[in-house]
């Protein structure tokens, strides 16, 4: 291969996850709101979720996930010079939760910041970190998705409170030289989009500059559902076109885990075999920016995702925002 075509790739060195202690089943929710296990399972595939206790903040969960990712990568805090934390539920309005993770881990160099793209947060954060590493400004990143959505749910609104859960996942992403080929290890292509005209379909009704309160999540689920499949399949199609790959080349499809019906319909539309789908929505519910790294950690720990595998990530969420990341593991 021509020397001049060598490029920098961002290679995943390790993955980690952390979940709150408290497990809440659909049967538990039946005691809180007018719902049923049947309805939740049939409409979403969710069977249980974890809910954070008082001490389990977003940065606490993020730190635990990051520690596991560092251990899996065989790295220490001293190796990290960039932390990008995707969250819509930070510990405080400021400083960023990323800087709290930085301090908790003992990382003393480089930069740490939060990134907010709601459920697309992890694909946005991977894309941003990939560009930092490719530019040569930073060497090794922790990319984290961490959320405590239970704190912004209206626990009397059955149309939303049964859908979400809390958790965190992290990956260590390192700069490594590639050949500019799709056989290279690392992030191969990323595609991000947003369209702010969809605000009213999924939003939080409070914030520092408007109400001065944190607010609660509001969603027109049907409206979000109507757009989801088209949006995520568009950005996956972009990823295939940019790399000359097809659905058949994929080893694993690791989508945002909001609803099993959206996941299955997206896979079917693109001809991705059912056996290649990594699903964790039944265990975690929708954990927003944490859902993809939680699913990645599950599939790495159980031995499904292995080095050299071609892995497609995708998500869509509030904004709307949506995006895809294609990675050679
Ligand atoms: O993370 C990215 C953003 N989020 C998403 O991707 C979520 C996208 N949307 C969805 O996943 C689905 O639209 C939902 C799971 C939220 C809802 O499923 P649906 O099939 O679109 O149901 P629906 O909203 O049309 O509601 C159907 C019925 C309604 O009753 P009526 O009006 O038909 O009598 C609701 O009131 O189900 C009722 N319902 C419930 N029943 C029992 C709504 N929530 C519940 C509930 N338990 N928790």
Cα–ligand 1 centroid distance for 42 (angstroms): 10
Atom 14 of ligand 1 has which residue's CA nearest to it? Answer: 221
For ligand 1, whether the C-beta of 259 sits within 6 Å is yes
Given 117, 147, 178, the domain boundary residue is 178
For ligand 1, whether the C-beta of 29 sits within 6 Å is no
**77-109 tens-digit pLDDT:** 999 999 999 999 999 999 999 999 999 999 999
Backbone angles phi, psi at 96, to 5 degrees: -60, 150
Distance CA 190, CA 130 (A): 9
One domain, residues 167 and 45? yes
CA distances from 239 to 86, 187, 290, 326 (A): 22, 11, 22, 7
**243-283 tens-digit pLDDT:** 999 999 999 999 999 999 999 999 999 999 999 999 999 99
Atom 41 of ligand 1 has which residue's CA nearest to it? Answer: 35
CATH code (residue 164): 3.40.47.10
One domain, residues 170 and 246? no
**Confidence class for position 1, pLDDT limits 50, 70, 90:** very low
Closest ligand 1 atom to Cα of 159: 44
Domains in the chain, number: 2
**103-149 tens-digit pLDDT:** 999 999 999 999 999 999 999 999 999 999 999 999 999 999 999 99
Given 144, 178, 212, the domain boundary residue is 178
Closest ligand 1 atom to Cα of 259: 11
Distance CA 232, CA 69 (A): 27
Find the domain containing 98 and state its range: 7-178
One domain, residues 230 and 115? no
For ligand 1, whether the C-beta of 194 sits within 6 Å is no
Average pLDDT value for residue range 40-61: 98
One domain, residues 171 and 206? no
Average pLDDT value for residue range 155-179: 98
State CA 327 to chain mean position distance: 14
Atom 6 of ligand 1 has which residue's CA nearest to it? Answer: 258
Which member of 119, 198, 259, 300 is catalytic? 119
Query: Is-catalytic flag, 2?
Result: no
Cα–ligand 1 centroid distance for 217 (angstroms): 15
Determine what percent of the chain is predicted with pLDDT higher than 70: 98
Average pLDDT value for residue range 17-28: 98
For ligand 1, whether the C-beta of 286 sits within 6 Å is yes
Q: What is the pLDDT of residue 6?
A: 82
For ligand 1, whether the C-beta of 75 sits within 6 Å is no
One domain, residues 155 and 25? yes
One domain, residues 154 and 210? no
Atom 45 of ligand 1 has which residue's CA nearest to it? Answer: 159
For 247, other C-beta atoms within 10 Å of its C-beta total: 17
Does residue 1 fall inside a structural domain? no
For ligand 1, whether the C-beta of 220 sits within 6 Å is no
Average pLDDT value for residue range 156-172: 98
One domain, residues 142 and 217? no
Cα–ligand 1 centroid distance for 211 (angstroms): 28
- What mean pLDDT value characterizes the chain? 97
One domain, residues 11 and 151? yes
Which member of 138, 198, 256, 284 is catalytic? 256
Q: What is the pLDDT of residue 155?
A: 98
Evaluate if residue 4 carries a pLDDT over 90. no
Closest ligand 1 atom to Cα of 119: 1
One domain, residues 134 and 44? yes
Q: What is the pLDDT of residue 50?
A: 98
**Triad 279, 283, 285: Cα angle to 5°:** 85
Evaluate if residue 286 carries a pLDDT over 50. yes
Q: What is the pLDDT of residue 32?
A: 96
Query: Is-catalytic flag, 161?
Result: no
Token pair 């635990």 in the structure block, residue = 64
Atom 20 of ligand 1 has which residue's CA nearest to it? Answer: 43
Does residue 163 fall inside a structural domain? yes
Average pLDDT value for residue range 214-230: 97
One domain, residues 191 and 314? yes
In sequence order, what are the residues at sequence separation of 6 or more whose Cβ sits closer than 8 angstroms to the Cβ of residue 17?
65, 68, 167, 168, 169, 170, 293, 294, 297, 298
Cα–ligand 1 centroid distance for 85 (angstroms): 30
One domain, residues 112 and 236? no
Q: What is the pLDDT of residue 140?
A: 98
Contact criterion met (CB below 8 Å) for 285 and 291: no
Specify the pTM.
0.97
Atom 35 of ligand 1 has which residue's CA nearest to it? Answer: 159
Does residue 2 fall inside a structural domain? no
Average pLDDT value for residue range 273-298: 98
One domain, residues 73 and 133? yes
Does residue 165 fall inside a structural domain? yes
Query: Is-catalytic flag, 26?
Result: no
């Amino acid at each position: 291969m021509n020397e001049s075509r060598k490029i920098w790739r961002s290679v995943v060195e390790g993955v980690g996850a952390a979940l709150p202690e408290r497990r809440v089943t659909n049967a538990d929710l039946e005691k809180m709101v007018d719902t049923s296990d049947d309805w939740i399972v049939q409409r979403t595939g969710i069977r249980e979720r974890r809910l954070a206790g008082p001490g389990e903040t977003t940065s606490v969960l993020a730190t635990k996930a990051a520690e596991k990712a560092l251990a899996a990568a065989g790295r220490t805090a001293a190796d990290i010079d960039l932390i990008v934390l995707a969250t819509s539920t930070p510990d405080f309005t400021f400083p960023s939760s990323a800087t709290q993770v930085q301090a908790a881990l003992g990382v003393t160099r480089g930069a740490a910041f939060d990134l907010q793209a709601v459920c697309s947060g992890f694909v946005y954060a991977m894309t941003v970190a990939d560009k930092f590493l490719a530019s040569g400004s930073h060497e090794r990143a922790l990319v984290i998705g961490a959320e405590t959505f239970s704190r912004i749910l209206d626990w009397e609104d059955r149309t939303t409170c049964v859908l979400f859960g809390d958790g965190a996942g992290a990956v260590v992403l390192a700069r490594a030289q590639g050949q500019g080929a799709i056989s290279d290890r690392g992030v191969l292509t990323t595609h991000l989009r947003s369209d702010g005209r969809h605000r009213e379909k999924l939003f939080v009704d409070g914030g520092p500059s408007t109400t001065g309160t944190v607010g609660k999540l509001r969603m027109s689920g049907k409206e979000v559902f109507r757009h989801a499949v088209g949006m995520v399949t568009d950005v996956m199609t972009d990823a295939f076109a940019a790399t000359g790959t097809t659905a058949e080349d994929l080893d694993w499809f690791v989508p945002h885990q909001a609803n099993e019906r959206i996941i299955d319909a997206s896979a079917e539309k693109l001809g991705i075999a059912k056996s290649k789908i990594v699903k964790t929505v039944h265990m975690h519910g929708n954990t927003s920016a944490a859902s993809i790294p939680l699913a990645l950690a599950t599939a790495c720990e159980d031995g499904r995702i292995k080095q050299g595998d071609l892995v497609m990530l995708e998500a869509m969420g509030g904004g709307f925002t949506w995006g895809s990341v294609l990675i050679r593991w």
